[in-house]
Amino acid sequence: MWIAFEGGEGSGKSTQAALFAERIDAVLTREPGATPLGVQLRSLLLSPKTGTIDAHAETLLMAADRAQNLRDVVLPALADGRHVVTDRSVYSSMAYQGEGRQLGFDAVREVNQWALGDHWPDLVVLLDIDFAQARARLGDSLDRFEQEGETFHRSIFDAYRKLASLEPDRWVTVDASGDQQRVAEDLWQKVSPRLV
């Protein structure tokens, strides 16, 4: 299975994705930044020094990283019979560029449908948390997205909940407000029965 971990900044998504991947001996990847091309794109997309990127350009750069990651990491691992856990996926673009940058879910879905074809995550884990608690978890060194204002980030949190409600069979929502171990165990209880 291809399992995507999603959530707003400070939700604990990266930590939980890594813990879960280790627990099931999955290939762990991330978007952006899992391939040599992706490393360069990640630097451009996340560095505050990059400055403002047009919303359409940002969407296309994310899709380019995603297409490369799919073909270099995800598909080969699945072909070898391995589970794949990804820290962020196409649904991040739907939340961040679709809702946050106000391009709309449909436009972002269309671009990524072209990049991914029929290869979308089988299961999506949403680490859901109160916005204020998530913001309190972030340190002082913020990337370009983390530096966005409260309105932007609140729209991201809302977008994830909306996306989860649109595809309830594909999404599992986990309360991410507890400590790391409690969240990991809750996540395991909800996700492990879905593994095939």
* pLDDT value of position 137: 87
Per the CB < 8 A criterion, the answer to whether 131 and 11 are in contact is: no
* pLDDT value of position 142: 86
What is d(CA 92, CA 8) in angstroms, rounded to the nearest whole number? 9
Per the CB < 8 A criterion, the answer to whether 21 and 74 are in contact is: no
* pLDDT value of position 149: 87
Q: What is the mean pLDDT of each run of 10 residues along the chain (196 residues)?
A: 96 96 98 97 95 96 98 98 98 97 97 96 96 83 88 94 97 96 97 92
The residues spanned by each domain of the chain are: 2-194
What is d(CA 45, CA 61) in angstroms, rounded to the nearest whole number? 8
Asked: is 2-194 a CATH 3.40.50.740 domain? The reply is no
What is d(CA 113, CA 109) in angstroms, rounded to the nearest whole number? 6
What is d(CA 193, CA 181) in angstroms, rounded to the nearest whole number? 19
* pLDDT value of position 124: 98
* pLDDT value of position 114: 96
* pLDDT value of position 99: 97
Helix ranges restricted to H, the chain: 13-23, 36-46, 55-69, 75-79, 90-93, 105-116, 131-137, 150-166, 180-191
* pLDDT value of position 143: 87
How many residues make up the chain in this entry?
A: 196
* pLDDT value of position 93: 98
Per the CB < 8 A criterion, the answer to whether 149 and 100 are in contact is: no
* pLDDT value of position 139: 75
Beta carbons within 10 angstroms of residue 182's beta carbon: 12
